[in-house]
């Protein structure tokens, strides 16, 4: 599988990243059981994917533990990204130590600030992250859910990546994406399938069961869902005309978006993982890309400029 540089770093990643939020042990959300999660991660690695994403808060370290077990014996083949919440600088070292213990490794390739807390200054946090990087415990520093002004601060400390929510249905401001492109900051979107909305799950099968984390997702809200499903149906139609799956078309749209480095995609089975990987071989026409872009942006424009996917952000 082709690799690409992670921003300004010397780290080479595949354009498909396996997300492991659903391996945190919650019921009915991902692979059933730890062994299934381990097998899924190893399957993705066998298929050529070298990039795996997790976080401290995914099951209070459970997801990190699954990743750690899965990569034993092949650590040098894997780029591991994990995340911690923005915190006081004296808390950074202990959080990293916990991650290293769960991941069964002595370094993390990419350590990401999961959410910025407006009540805490960013500079002391990043100063400590730089010290941890210089000590060899992390290779590179990234961020998630940062706005443009926060990115300007982060760039002063050598941050190499931004992990935002991004899909046909959920966007980030143009100036933020332009900033990352101009400064060679990798953009690695999460929730690229809008938690299943863009897979055909709710259009082809006509299910109205939105359990688990989807219950708080604004795209599933009463006001937004009809518009979200209209775009999902457009995705389905384009997928049918191409002989592809809806998920593949949705992922291909992101992969063709200028400035997108790698897409973080979860899976509940090896079959689903393989289908998602098939997006790497799908190319949308300019017309289809534009149709999806315009339809999805019209949905996103219905939301306020400061909205987050779950209607929540740290204070």
Closest CA to 112 of 194, 34, 3, 190: 190
79: which residues sit within 8 A by CB, 6+ positions away? 6, 11, 12, 13, 50, 51, 52, 109, 110
User: In sequence order, what are the residues at sequence separation of 6 or more whose Cβ sits closer than 8 angstroms to the Cβ of residue 208?
Assistant: 202
Which tokens sit at 90? Answer: 């004296």
Closest CA to 266 of 118, 85, 115, 49: 49
Sign of CA dihedral 78, 152, 265, 168: negative
What is the longest distance spanned by two Cα atoms in the chain?
55
Structure tokens at 153: 């601060």
CB 1 within 8 A of CB 16: yes
∠ Cα 122 123 129 (to 5°): 90
Active site residue 289: no
φ, ψ at 13 (rounded to 5°): -125, 155
Instruction: Identify the DSSP state of 279.
Output: G
Residue 50 has which token pair?
A: 């070298």
Structure token digits, residue 89 = 């600088």
Task: Give the residue numbers marked as catalytic.
Answer: 58
């Amino acid at each position: 599988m082709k690799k690409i540089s992670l921003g300004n770093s010397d780290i080479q990643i595949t354009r498909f990243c396996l997300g492991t939020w659903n391996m945190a042990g919650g019921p009915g959300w991902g692979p059933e059981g730890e062994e299934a999660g381990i097998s899924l991660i190893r399957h993705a690695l066998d298929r050529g994917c070298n990039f795996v994403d997790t976080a401290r808060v995914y099951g209070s370290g459970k997801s990190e533990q699954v990743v750690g077990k899965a990569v034993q014996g092949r650590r040098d083949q894997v780029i591991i990204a994990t995340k911690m919440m923005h915190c006081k600088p004296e808390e950074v070292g202990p959080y990293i130590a916990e991650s290293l213990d769960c991941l069964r490794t002595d370094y993390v390739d990419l350590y990401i600030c999961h959410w910025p807390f407006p009540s805490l200054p960013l500079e002391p946090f990043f100063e400590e992250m730089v010290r941890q990087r210089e000590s060899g415990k992390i290779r590179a520093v990234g961020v998630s859910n940062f706005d443009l002004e926060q990115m300007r601060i982060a760039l002063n400390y050598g941050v190499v990546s931004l992990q935002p929510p991004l899909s046909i249905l959920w966007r980030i401001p143009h100036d933020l994406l332009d900033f990352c492109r101009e400064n060679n900051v990798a953009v690695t979107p999460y929730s690229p399938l809008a938690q299943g909305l863009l897979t055909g799950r709710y259009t082809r099968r006509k299910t109205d069961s939105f359990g688990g984390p989807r219950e708080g997702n604004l795209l599933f809200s009463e006001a937004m869902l009809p518009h979200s499903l209209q775009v999902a149906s457009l995705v389905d139609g384009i997928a049918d005309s191409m002989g592809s799956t809806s998920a593949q078309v949705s992922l291909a749209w992101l992969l063709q978006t200028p400035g997108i480095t790698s897409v973080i995609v979860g899976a509940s089975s090896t079959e689903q993982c393989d289908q998602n990987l098939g997006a790497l071989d799908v190319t949308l026409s300019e017309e289809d890309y534009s149709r999806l872009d315009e339809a999805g942006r019209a949905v996103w424009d219905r939301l306020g400029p400061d909205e987050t996917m779950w209607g929540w952000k740290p204070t």
